[in-house]
Amino acid sequence: MHKARTLQDLILTLQAYWARQGCVILQPYDVEMGAGTFHPATTLRALGPRPWRAAYVQPSRRPSDGRYGENPNRLQHYYQFQVILKPAPKDVLDLYLGSVREIGLDLAVHDIRFVEDDWESPTLGAWGLGWEVWCDGMEITQFTYFQQVGGFDCDPVSAEITYGLERLAMYVQDVEFVYDLAYNDRFRYGEVFHQSEREFSTYNFEKSDSEMLFRHFADAEKECKALVAANLALPAYDQCIKASHCFNLLDARGVISVTERAAYIGRVRALAKACCETWLASPMGEYAPRYG
């Protein structure tokens, strides 16, 4: 069995596999976000009746998880491989196991388990039921059947599959320090990202300008509301993600008190809700070919 020897192989293998399942292979969204779920291809497309299948790599920014490049597996920037299948096909778990085989994990010698783990995002007003998938005791995937997004029922229900790529690669490559991963045959992960982790940790924890970030938060919130009023779901949603990222940066900086925290999350959720509502009232991606 071919093993995905490098991180890059892993990405290419997953991409090719899910492309064969009819997924649109998207490129990362160009706004900072905390998880692949925030990508409009998941959040918004999970709503409404239209079928959808997409797969993409999404950089996830978690400012508080930065460890200045010292921790073996915590990163403030890492990659998620995200798959969304709508409606969730009946054999979706078999399809998923197919992807695990594809990246070189021989199911005859490994122990795969589906352990209850329900997913909830207070900032998106979203939740679903599912599992974390364990391979030999290691969580390699988060699997969720979306039930609600932005407070709206998902109908039909989508299946969301999220692979933590570095973690999975560390497992496949048998590496214990993330920076030692082979990105490809020529470069280590550390060569690509170590400096960036160090610098961004300093920025996130020490140097970010809180006043500016508060301002950006308020601006994004204001812009989002204005765009919702203009029935522009997608541009409004961009502002919602931006507000969310500003909040994460402020949180990492330690300038948001415990009480304020809940209030900020509530404000982002209100934006997400409004965007979802606007999306549901829009054509939701409908398109009739112009020339037949």
Number of residues that bind another protein (CB under 8 A): 38
* Residue of 174, 185, 206, 211 that binds another protein (CB under 8 A): 174
Interface with another protein, residue 120, by CB under 8 A: no
Cβ closest to another protein, residue 30 vs residue 174: 174
Q: Which helix (H) or strand (E) holds 113?
A: strand 112-116
DSSP 99-111: HHHHTT--TTTS-
**Would you give the binding string for another protein spanning residues 249-278, x where CB under 8 A is met?**
--------xxx-------------------
Among 2, 27, 30, 116, binds another protein (CB under 8 A): 116
Among all chains, which residue has been given the structure tokens 């109908």? 155
Decide if residue 24 touches another protein (CB under 8 A): no
| Calpha distance 210→248 (Å, rounded) | 11
Report in angstroms how near the CB of residue 172 gets to another protein at its nearest.
11
Query: 88, 126, 243, 276: which one contacts another protein (CB under 8 A)?
Result: 88
137 binds another protein (CB under 8 A): yes
Do 26 and 72 meet the contact criterion of CB atoms below 8 Å apart?
no
Longest dimension (CA), the chain: 57
Q: Site for another protein (CB under 8 A): which residue of 171, 179, 183, 247?
A: 171
Q: What is the dihedral of CA 170, 171, 173, 177, to 10 degrees?
A: 30
CA proximity to 263, closest of 217, 229, 222: 217
Interface positions with another protein (CB under 8 A):
72-73, 87-88, 90, 93, 97, 106-116, 118, 128-129, 131, 135-138, 145, 147, 153, 155-157, 171, 174, 176, 257-259
